[in-house]
Structure 1
């Protein structure tokens, strides 16, 4: 019997169900495969992609850093380049500090000078003088509460200190052979305490002491006299140990300038050269010193500096006046230089040569018994004959030691005679501002200075830098 329509549906139903199950099975298998693929992507490929991205990011950053380092106008490049040459000069700094015996000998010489002057003692606040006689650092902070070093005419040593500061002061590396400690309470006058404990009636006060010190002593009944030339001379004449330190740090400073000169390029800024120089001192393990100047072109027309932010251009000099310190003793060296390959006008070259001749003229007069004014005049005459007398506005030089500026001073009014063992800078210069340039037939200002600390010996002057400049390319 032929089946009816409903019967056909009944007969077909099982087949349709089987077909549906087959399709669902294939879909299930496909879904599992997709899930597996997704897991592979999530577990393997994505981490790989992430790591690759990180690697690329780092690589690009490293390339960027390399590009910065390769920029010859950057501080990193300049410092790295200069250090490659300068590091061989480190042995110059291997000089011993001042020994205890020398400090004590200085105190005895001072005591003799005080006895001759008819005073009871020498009084100094923390300063170059206290550093010289007792290794009391000039960096000690001054306040309204006086801390005083006292060296007696009998050779005795004492110091006046606030009572609550006795422990801290005792921790300083002072040098003495027995000391009397005068501790004063907050409710009393420190000067009355000093007068009571010492019985001093007349003292010599250090040239750097504040007015309040002299006034306080006088109010306590102690007569005060200023620092004598004899006592000034004690620190001005250097010992062998001091000269060795000054030679080491000044020769190193010149070599630092020479190292920079080989690496400076057009486009660098004044601040970059200055920062590089200071970083090189720090890298060598010495202090930044008293002074640091880097000036380009017309900015050098102001002897101690003009505006910041100037970039070096062709046709401009670079003036570097910089120093450091070793065991408290300073360096002070100036060179006016040109980077390798750079050029300036014949006029500026002539100015440089004139300054060199002026320095030589002063150097040739730095003998014992020559007066400071005569040495200054010899240098100044050269500049005046070249027609630039009005543009040499400062003295020829100053003493150098524990202070950047100390006795003797080489100026036209100083009749003091040079002594064997004294050290003074020899630093003539010519400076013409842009406003003055028309007076010398030019349109742009300029400045040139050369400086070397000179030791006075029986045989004449000796540059503590080791040598004076030969040319802007050979400083």
Structure 2
């Protein structure tokens, strides 16, 4: 048996051996170190930065520069919109509350500008074909200042009322020429109302009228309007019930309408609006990709939402919000989740959006991480949904402006594809079959603009035709809840893909421009 240390052979040899040879250490530390390394590798939430799928290139400064240039509307935008509204109204007046419609026509008084309360602020648009020459309100009388600018005084002559942003050319109480706009505001909010930005091009059309706390605002408005020779009153669809009731009481129910023609003005987007929507959707998709790059097996739904919110804000979106669902939670289209952790066999569904220049994005992605082990049948579901999203796009491309596809037909093109592969009932072979909502449980899509959901709606029964200027979502899905009857042996899974499409015209043909995506193959986002 060899000694642990060399045997001293001589005094001369002693020194070198002592200095060059060290005691051998036990080797038990090596397996422990390997074990610790394995544990850290398998449990750490941080993936190697060299993974290609984690390399998300930033949006370029040229992109942001272009998007910023769209924030300033070209001259004449709002005067043109008011003229268009005036033509549609004919001899009816339009009454609305602050919201997307007012923001569209006036460039201000959107929901972010004015919080709705029990004290109504009303916007009244009077077409140029209707004259206003009645007796002015007994509580707010229009007079003219030394510089020709209208101001308001109460019955006692006090001028601490509100500014009227119009120039008077005579002693009448109406605004001369063009479409007229009355903004009825609570007296104590009058200054704030007058300070909300409105484009200079329409300020000559605006008149502010105030009502005191002890007055009925609708009576004040009716006295201001006077004996109008009008066909009726058109209410914006977002007007609240108590306002609607008060208007009907004074105008007569038979003369109050809710006109879809006014809504249809907003339905078609111009080039700038499409550009703003494109920017918002590109920013949103970028945030989803960045979020995916930070995800890992074991992360929770809430932690993923936090990451998503961070990147949507970093992408410069406003009013950003999102939905994150893992695994079986995605089988509820608008579920709230359970804050469960992401497992290796789970797909991820993210549905989110924000605004840029007031215009809204809406994107949904269903995906998995590279280290996930997704069942092949779930991937086949994903591919079926991808094809269903492509079907209405192909239908649009094969159509012309003289024979556009109906919104119901676009819904059917996607729904029938899913139904032919995944259904809980026998699919009808009739030329106009009853739609199958058993696994694809919602409409195909919705219009998008200043609101996340607006006209048009792509659903069975909507016989309206697609046309240039329409922008809408295409968002087919398959939902197989965990507690429902299985379909082809599958349950506890949900898939949805959503992108927005702008309809354009080229040489008499309809073409579609995807504002984001679409996803072309499994593994992409």
For the aligned pair, the TM-score class normalised by the smaller chain equals: 0.7 to 0.9
Deviations 1:310-338 (A, max 9, x none): 11111111111111111111100011111
Alpha-carbon separation, structure 1, partners of 2:450 and 2:53 = 28
Map 1:40-59 to 2 at 5 A: none
Is the 8 Å Cα contact of residues 86 and 259 (structure 1) preserved in structure 2?
A: no
> How many residues align structurally?
397
1:169 lines up with 2:193 in the alignment:
yes
Using structure 2 for the length normalisation, give the TM-score. 0.71
Query: In structure 2, what is the equivalent of residue 315 of structure 1?
Result: 345
Change (3 A) 1:133 1:86: farther
Using structure 1 for the length normalisation, give the TM-score. 0.79
Alpha-carbon separation, structure 2, partners of 1:414 and 1:147 = 34
1:237 lines up with 2:211 in the alignment:
no
Q: Secondary structure at the match of 1:391?
A: coil
Alpha-carbon separation, structure 1, partners of 2:298 and 2:96 = 49
Cα offset, 1:252, TM superposition: 1.8
Q: Secondary structure at the match of 2:221?
A: helix
Give the counterpart of 1:335 among 357, 365, 380. 365
Is the 8 Å Cα contact of residues 93 and 252 (structure 1) preserved in structure 2?
A: no
Change (3 A) 1:396 1:98: farther
Query: In structure 2, what is the equivalent of residue 159 of structure 1?
Result: 183
Alpha-carbon separation, structure 2, partners of 1:309 and 1:360 = 32
Map 1:407-426 to 2 at 5 A: 407-426=455-474
Is the 8 Å Cα contact of residues 440 and 477 (structure 2) preserved in structure 1?
A: yes
Cα offset, 1:472, TM superposition: 3.3
Deviations 1:97-142 (A, max 9, x none): 1525212211111111111xx31x2111011101111121213211
Give the counterpart of 1:440 among 460, 480, 488. 488
Alpha-carbon separation, structure 2, partners of 1:453 and 1:326 = 15
Is the 8 Å Cα contact of residues 372 and 411 (structure 1) preserved in structure 2?
A: yes
Deviations 1:392-440 (A, max 9, x none): 1100000000000000000001111112101010000000011125343
Query: In structure 1, what is the equivalent of residue 422 of structure 2?
Result: 387
Is the 8 Å Cα contact of residues 233 and 251 (structure 2) preserved in structure 1?
A: no
Change (3 A) 1:277 1:91: farther
What is the RMSD of the two structures over their aligned residues, measured on CA atoms?
2.4
Cα offset, 1:372, TM superposition: 0.8
Cα offset, 1:73, TM superposition: 6.3
Alpha-carbon separation, structure 1, partners of 2:294 and 2:513 = 29
Query: In structure 2, what is the equivalent of residue 137 of structure 1?
Result: 110
Alpha-carbon separation, structure 1, partners of 2:61 and 2:446 = 27
Q: Secondary structure at the match of 1:409?
A: strand
1:197 lines up with 2:224 in the alignment:
yes
Alpha-carbon separation, structure 2, partners of 1:91 and 1:189 = 53
Deviations 1:7-60 (A, max 9, x none): xxxxxxxxxxxxxxxxxxxxxxxxxxxxxxxxxxxxxxxxxxxxxxxxxxxxxx
Query: In structure 2, what is the equivalent of residue 88 of structure 1?
Result: 59
Alpha-carbon separation, structure 1, partners of 2:77 and 2:238 = 23
Alpha-carbon separation, structure 2, partners of 1:261 and 1:90 = 23
Alpha-carbon separation, structure 1, partners of 2:422 and 2:247 = 52
Alpha-carbon separation, structure 2, partners of 1:129 and 1:357 = 35
Runs (5+) with no aligned partner, structure 1: 1-66
Cα offset, 1:88, TM superposition: 3.0
